[in-house]
Amino acid sequence: MQLQPKEILQKYWGFQDFKNSQEQIIHAVLGGQDVMALLPTGGGKSICFQVPALANDGICIVISPLVALIKNQVESLKSLGIKAIALTGGISHEEVNQLLDNCLYGNYKFLYLSPERLQQTLIRDRIQQMNVNLIAIDEAHCISQWGNDFRPAYLECSVIRDLVPNVPVIALTATATDLVIQDICENLKLNAPLKVKDSFARNNITFNVIWDEDKNYRLRELCREAKSSVIVYVRNRRMTVEIANYLTQLGHTATFFHGGISKKEKEERLDHWLTNKVKVMVATNAFGMGIDKADVGLVIHYQIPDSMENYFQEAGRAGRNGEPAQAVMILNQKDKSQVRNQFLGALPDVTFIKLLYNKLNNYFQIPFGEGSGETFQLPFNSFCDTYKLKANLSYNGLRILDQNSVISLTESFSQKTTIQFITSKREIFDYIDKHQVSAPIIQTILRTYGGVFDFNTKINVLLIAKKVNKTEKDIIRILEKMEKDEIIKYHAQHNDLEITFLVPREDERTINIFASKIKQIIAVKTENVNQILAYANNSTVCRSKQILSYFGEKTTPNCGKCDVCIQKNPVDQHIISIIKEEILKHLSINSQSSRDLTRILTYKDSSVLIALQGLLEDGKIRINSINQYEINR
């Protein structure tokens, strides 16, 4: 006898009732209706497909974008005694076959796949043989070209409707605009879906923006004050290492996480953070999706994210246990231009795409009207150098050509060449004396790349070759020799791209077909950056109110606790008088800077600064030659 949804919830998760729209969604799915569910981070999205899947006979197929997300959910289900299988990378053909047999004959309830797996003929054939009761597309915004995490492979998700017709589909995401929701519904061919959107209000999270030219000072103070786990988001891999090292030197337990570290390192670092052996995780923005850690008390954005959607999703990883938590952006004036350069400066326009496509055809000497179906190895750095094209712009242009089925592009370019010196500088100089042929190369690397003694550093082999007037092969041979001599750690992966031309060459006519789409993408990305900058700059409207307004919730109260709301609250003069007395007490012992005083005193920084200003105006204190406050005797 099948259990009812609430009985399943109580049996496996121990909750007495569903929250928000979960029950409505579950009953729609059980009634065979497609669903588009927009629920905030921590809103219980997985319950919405796991409960109905357990309430019916058969297996639920879950498409999910990240291996970490898949593994986390499968392990959670197994710990509850629910049979679940994940088909991730690194599994042999024989093992895949065996796991699929388990899905057919082993009474398994969940099969988790990446969208790339869904493209395999073997997987498609076996899905058609299964008793599928539900299809769940998690992180569904990845299917939309208007979303911030668009993945072309997600467009293949709709094929599953043809494999198992008459099975309901539920699409779930935590952040999506109306344009993205429309795109999801169209691409997944959802049939008259129930569209559900819960309030995004996270009342236990205080959202703050702090402007400070000394960002490291703010970072260390916030980490020092944090009582539970911390995530610090930065935009590139190198900065994860630098910030983690900086915090470690200050006595914090900190580590870093990014896509370039090994699988074993990822698992170890994640485990240390999840089990609170490490307090601070410094990471790029991929970290956190599907990581179920309830006691994150602080999420810091050290740089401006690229959109409100990504910011809210990342900030929402704080306070999932319902306890008070903080989400803080630490910014300085440079961040404004940097965010525009990083996210908009590398967006190719229609003119550039036409130029790139023309050069690509010329490079491989493809005649007009020909080339369809031909495959080539593209030495990317050499190609860009030949035509004086910017690498980032060109790679993003190739991805646009790939997304619009002009070419098929491998992703090997995402892999880089890194080195790290593992000997002292004295030993390096001794090595140069004995290996004169290596001298100009080593000296160029040391002049070009800072930090090569401290951490794995990405290098551009072609750039080094041009600077020392040698070939790339010469540089690689010397680097391999240095690795063998235990001078450096060297990790090399080829920069070649494999490109298959999918249509005959027609130059501008080929690009004109989707030119308007390119313009729309640029407009959307530009608006995304403008919106996050507007949020950062707005010091008159409550932070929570700004966020909820962006997601369409217009009638919301002020939170009363963000930096904007606190600034608006009237100052309690009685409290200021107490702070003044405490300041004078501390300064009677020795001179202190404003930072020393804000750290020592247990009051808000803004209140301490008001008290200091009042004491200065009353002539009771003064500022000495080293910018410290002292008693005015």
The full length of the chain comes to: 633
Q: In the predicted model, what is the mean pLDDT of the chain?
A: 87
pLDDT band with cut points at 50, 70 and 90 for residue 324:
very high
Alpha helices in 80-198 (DSSP H): 93-105, 121-129, 159-163, 178-187
pLDDT average, residue stretch 132-141? 91
CA dihedral (240, 242, 245, 249) in degrees, to 10, reads -140
**What is the per-residue pLDDT across 284-322, written as a single tens digit (0 to 9) for each?**
876 766 567 889 999 999 999 988 988 998 998 999 888
Rounded distance, CA 244 to CA 257, Å?
Answer: 10
Q: Return the pLDDT at 333.
A: 86
pLDDT average, residue stretch 316-330? 92
Task: Show which of 491, 510, 545 is a domain's final residue.
Answer: 491
**DSSP notation for 303-325:** S--S-HHHHHHHHTTS-TTSS-E
**What is the per-residue pLDDT across 434-467, written as a single tens digit (0 to 9) for each?**
888 889 999 898 888 877 887 778 888 877 888 8
Mark whether 10 and 68 lie in a shared domain: yes
Contacts of 590 (CB under 8 A, 6+ apart): none
In a domain, 556, yes or no: no
Contacts of 202 (CB under 8 A, 6+ apart): 40, 42, 316, 319, 544
In a domain, 558, yes or no: no
In a domain, 51, yes or no: yes
Helix axes 439-448, 425-434, angle to 10 degrees: 150
Q: Return the pLDDT at 471.
A: 82
Q: Return the pLDDT at 290.
A: 58
In a domain, 31, yes or no: yes
Q: Return the pLDDT at 23.
A: 94
Mark whether 73 and 181 lie in a shared domain: yes
Indicate whether 111 pLDDT > 70. Answer: yes
Mark whether 227 and 167 lie in a shared domain: no
> Full-prediction pTM beyond 0.85?
no
HEC-encoded secondary structure of 564-582: HHHHHCCCCHHHHHHHHHH
Give the CATH number, domain containing residue 500: 1.10.10.10
Mark whether 389 and 434 lie in a shared domain: no
Mark whether 62 and 160 lie in a shared domain: yes
CA dihedral (86, 92, 95, 99) in degrees, to 10, reads 30
Mark whether 391 and 503 lie in a shared domain: yes
Q: What angle do CA 207, 39, 555 make, to 5 degrees?
A: 55
Contacts of 123 (CB under 8 A, 6+ apart): 87, 96, 100, 113, 117
Indicate whether 273 pLDDT > 70. Answer: yes
In a domain, 302, yes or no: yes
Indicate whether 121 pLDDT > 90. Answer: no
In a domain, 533, yes or no: no
Work out the percent of the chain whose per-residue pLDDT is above 70: 95
Mark whether 80 and 47 lie in a shared domain: yes
pLDDT band with cut points at 50, 70 and 90 for residue 244:
very high
In a domain, 554, yes or no: no
Q: Return the pLDDT at 97.
A: 87
Contacts of 271 (CB under 8 A, 6+ apart): 277
Nearest one of 610, 398, 600, 601 to 499, comparing CA atoms:
398
Q: Phi/psi of residue 572, each to 5°?
A: -80, 105
Indicate whether 416 pLDDT > 70. Answer: no
pLDDT average, residue stretch 613-626? 88
Task: Determine the structural domain holding residue 457 and report its residue range.
Answer: 418-491
* Cβ(406)–Cβ(366) below 8 Å: no
pLDDT band with cut points at 50, 70 and 90 for residue 602:
confident
Indicate whether 626 pLDDT > 90. Answer: no
Task: Show which of 175, 197, 219 is a domain's final residue.
Answer: 197
Mark whether 189 and 318 lie in a shared domain: no
Q: Work out how many domains the chain is built from and give that number.
A: 5
Q: Return the pLDDT at 414.
A: 45
Lowest-pLDDT choice from 39-43, 145-149, 419-423, 545-549: 145-149
Chain-centre distance for alpha carbon 398: 22
Q: Return the pLDDT at 433.
A: 86
pLDDT band with cut points at 50, 70 and 90 for residue 61:
very high
3-state DSSP call for residue 399? helix
Lowest-pLDDT choice from 234-238, 516-520, 596-600: 596-600
Rounded distance, CA 419 to CA 412, Å?
Answer: 18
Mark whether 241 and 305 lie in a shared domain: yes
Q: Return the pLDDT at 415.
A: 46
pLDDT average, residue stretch 415-430? 83
